[in-house]
Amino acid sequence: MLDRAFAGAGTGSVNSASKSRQSGAERLIGGGRGRLLAVWNASVGCDMVLDAYGQWLCTLRRSHSARPEAVFVVSNLQPDAFFAAIAADAALFCLPMEHDLVHALGTGSGTEALVFRPEGHALPQGIALADGAEVPSAMPVDPGTHTGIAIIDDGIGFLNARFRSDPVTSRFLGVWLQSAALKHGDSMGRVLNAVAVARLTAATATTAEAVLYRDLLNELHADPRLVRTILQAATHGTHVLDLAAGADPLDLANPMRRLPLIGVQLPPEAVNDTSGMQMTVPLLQGLRWAIMVAQTARLDRLIVNASLGILAGSKDGKSFLERQMARLIARAGRIGLEVHIVLPYGNDHEGRQVARLSAATGGHGAITLRLQPQDATPSYVEIRDLAAREAGDGAPLSIGLTLPDGTDIAAATVALGGSRDVLWRGRLVGRLYHRPRKAGRDAVVLLALAPTQAIAPGDATAPAGAWTIRFDDAGVHDIVLQVQRDDRAAGYRLSGRQAYFEAADAHSWNRRTRDWTGHDHPSCPIRHDGTNSAYATSPHPQIHNVGGALLTEGRAARPADYAARGADWSGIEPRLSAVSETSSAIRGLRASGTLSGTTARFSGSSAAAPTLTRALALNDPGGPVPVAAGDQDRLGAKALTANPAIR
């Protein structure tokens, strides 16, 4: 390991040390909104280590190891290390389609347990481990029905009448309520099979839906402080599912009433951490389980809506999550189940979270990152040199920092595969990590910064304000910087505050919003292009991304204000879009609220994706609207309009 010291001017300095390996099996407490379990299992035969995001969270909390916080996910594993391990025991990746394969999940295999069963956690209660005692059973499906719809989301109002085939019969084949730690026992949540959902649905005749949800969740989550969005008037998951699969149970002519549903309600901890740090594993677990339920019900097609996303990432279609989705689709196809996954393209067109420093954008050698005050979560910036894509790691980036109080940290490189500590007034407030180019994936430097507001005495905090990130010889590089998502999830308490880029030429007149936020000039380093979600860059024909469109009064489609734009370096552009706005004055689409008979509005490409899900399920695109050539990098070639919510 390399160990070099970098001295900075003023009171700031940078130290270098490699952080790429966790020794032994360690439990480390994550920080901010997240909880983290990092395990290195020697029996797997390779380093199953956290990436730089996880390492930084572990560092921030290492001084508070006595905190009695529960741990849940093994998150952001090094993808190549995982694939090397799984190749040695390919049978572990078989889908649990039969009882003996469900049983295999309980055998304690190192690889399988590490990736899909965090150490110390049992399978969800309701899934059989040995004798098939309680494998989720499917309700009888109409003989002519071959397609089902699955949703992976937060706050799914599965008792809502919009998800019934008639006034008393639920369409759900099963619902997995994921949880970090149960109130009674240790598990990854509870599974409600079709019979259990039917009983709860019948109970709504005498008991309010809200009371049933309350009682169920009170027995589910061990931490009483967790936000339970299902108890709120409007929830993201219910709204999305209504757009994707909702139907009037009394409308006998509506074919959607005959399509069965599968629900995976993500753990609150994963949803609240909008950086995606804790999302990968429960999302993949939920996808595997949904496939199992669909196969048990003898469905031929499963359309999975996952209206989730983050901003920063490799955006090359090779992320851990995207490769796993592709593998699961292939595995399901081998047993006769056609799986489609629908994702939103992104909402960060105006977020100021992407910057590009190159000769084409004015040859800037620095960019300002603004950390907001009272941000109780870490901030992350991913830095890549596009010029090095064809030449290995290329010349290493020499990165310097100027802190808000003027403290200067001299520019220096980060050791290959190592890290550099960022010190301010003698305290660790940040770290630069380097991940070398490997298996065709670009090298990346991650700048990880501490929260600007402490959540416990003694926590390290970074100074809020303008941080300048400088690069030596920027003219010979083509540098892309992405600020990771760090905002508040819908329905959750404010803890994160989004960091963003600033530049002198990023304040031109914006005719659309009538303010000085314009940054469309070609030489401006802050970019609109490349703002697409890092989850939605796979070229796989059964993984779909959907942009958000505004339907004008003349029934023309143009990009919604937030609709992300692709770039030459950020994976594929959207193949198509769907209407997520019908007015510039009233935002979003109206669909079901949490409880039966209520409505709510949600905006964003999360509301566009379900229209494609509905179209795929019904095999009915419903007369899409063509998109102007100049907008196709945000909307694709056409915009779908066939949804009852689009009027």
464 secondary structure, DSSP code: P
CA angle 638, 643, 647 (to 5 degrees): 95
**Among 307, 325, 344, which residue terminates a domain?**
344
Q: Among 344, 372, 407, give the residue marking a domain's end.
A: 344
| Within a domain: 645 | no
Residues 289, 155 share a domain: yes
Residue 612 confidence (pLDDT) above 60: yes
Let me know the angle formed at the C-alpha of 82 by 79 and 86, rounded to the nearest 5 degrees.
140
Task: Tell me, yes or no, whether 287 lies in a domain.
Answer: yes
What's residue 134's pLDDT?
37
Give the Å distances, CA to CA, from 172 to 87, 175, 290, 596, 643: 35, 7, 11, 16, 21
User: Percent of the chain at pLDDT above 70?
Assistant: 73
Whether the CB-CB separation of 381 and 483 falls below 8 Å is answered with yes
> What is the pLDDT at residue 104?
32
What is the C-alpha to C-alpha distance for residues 451 and 13, in angstroms, rounded to an integer?
Answer: 19
184 and 224 within one domain: yes
In the predicted structure, residue 619 carries a pLDDT above the cut 80: yes
Over pLDDT 90: what percentage of the chain? 47
Q: Could you tell me if residue 93 is inside a domain?
A: no
The pLDDT assigned to 621 comes to: 83
| 591-606 confidence digits (pLDDT tens) | 999 999 999 999 999 9
Q: Tell me which residue of 383, 376, 386 sits closest to 400, measured CA to CA.
A: 383
Residue whose tokens read 């954008």: 361
Does some domain include residue 242? Answer: yes
Q: Where residue 462 sits, what CATH number does that domain have?
A: 2.60.120
Where is pLDDT greater, at 430 or 515?
Answer: 430
What does the mean pLDDT of the chain come to?
A: 77
Do 568 and 471 share a structural domain?
no
Are 340 and 358 members of one domain?
A: no
State yes or no: pLDDT of 641 exceeds 90.
yes
Report residue 122's pLDDT band, with 50, 70 and 90 as the boundaries: very low
Asked, for residue 124, whether it belongs to a domain, the answer is: no
What's the confidence (pLDDT) of residue 242? Answer: 97
Same domain, residue pair 320 and 463: no
Give the pLDDT confidence score for residue 470 in this predicted structure. Answer: 94
Span 182-224, pLDDT tens digits: 555 545 678 899 999 999 999 999 999 999 999 888 877 766 6
Q: Measure the CA–CA gap between 579 and 555, rounded to whole angstroms.
A: 10
Residues whose CB is less than 8 angstroms from the CB of residue 614 and which lie 6 or more positions away in sequence, other chains included: 243, 244, 245, 256, 642, 643
Q: Are 201 and 271 in the same domain?
A: yes
pLDDT for res 75: 32
- Kindly state whether residue 601 falls inside one of the protein's structural domains: yes
Q: How confident is the model at residue 549 (pLDDT cuts 50, 70, 90)?
A: very high
pLDDT of residue 162: 97
- Which comes out higher in pLDDT, residue 568 or 75? 568
Among 259-268, 317-326, 416-425, 445-454, the range scoring the smallest mean pLDDT is 317-326
**Kind of pairing between the strands at 638-640 and 354-357:** unpaired
pTM over 0.85: no
Q: What mean pLDDT do residues 64-84 have?
A: 33
Handedness of CA 267, 268, 269, 272 (dihedral sign): positive
Angle (CA) 12-20-377 rounded to 5° is 55
> How does pLDDT run across 35-59, given as a tens digit for each residue?
222 222 222 222 333 567 767 766 7
DSSP per position, 401-437 = EE-TTS-EEEEEEPPTT-EEEEEETTEEEEEEEEE--
pLDDT digits (tens, 9 = 90+) for 266-280: 988 888 888 887 788
- Asked if residue 264 has pLDDT above 90, the reply is yes
Q: What is the pLDDT of residue 474?
A: 66
- Domain with 576 in it: 543-640
Residue 210 lies in a domain: yes
Same domain? For 276 and 156 the reply is yes
Q: Which amino acid is at 170?
A: S
Residue 301: CATH number of its domain: 3.40.50.200
- Rounded CA-CA distance 420/5 in Å is 8
pLDDT, tens digit, 9 for 90 and up, residues 355-409: 999 866 666 789 999 999 999 888 999 999 988 765 555 568 899 999 999 999 9
For residues 318 and 232, membership in a common domain is answered with yes
Q: Do the domain assignments include residue 88?
A: no
Report the relative pairing of strands 338-344 and 301-305 from DSSP bridges: parallel
Clarify whether residues 291 and 339 are in a common domain: yes
The C-alpha atoms of residue 241 and residue 239 are separated, in whole angstroms, by 6
Domain's final residue, options 344, 374, 396: 344
127 has a pLDDT exceeding 50: no
- Enumerate residues 6+ apart whose C-beta is below 8 A from 480: 354, 355, 356, 383, 384, 385, 386, 530, 569
The mean pLDDT value for 431-451 works out to: 84
Exposure on the CB side of residue 481, measured as CA atoms within 13 A: 31
Domain count, the chain: 3
Nearest to 237 by CA among 302, 123, 160, 295: 160
306 and 417 in a single domain? The answer is: no
Q: Of 55-69, 456-470, 548-562, 633-647, which range is least confident?
A: 55-69
- How are the residues of the chain apportioned to helix, strand and coil, as percentages rounded to the nearest 5? 20, 25, 55
CA 415 centroid distance within chain? 29
Q: What is the pLDDT averaged over residues 472-498?
A: 83
Of 79-88, 143-152, 583-592, give the lowest mean pLDDT range.
Answer: 79-88
Give the list of residues 6+ apart from residue 132 with CB closer than 8 angstroms, or none. 99, 102
- Shared domain for 612 and 592, answered yes or no, is yes
Q: What is the pLDDT of residue 142?
A: 61
Higher pLDDT pick, 84 / 630: 630
Same domain? For 362 and 323 the reply is no
Tally of helices (H runs) and strands (E runs) in the chain? 12, 30
C-alpha to C-alpha distance for 117 and 285, rounded to whole angstroms: 9
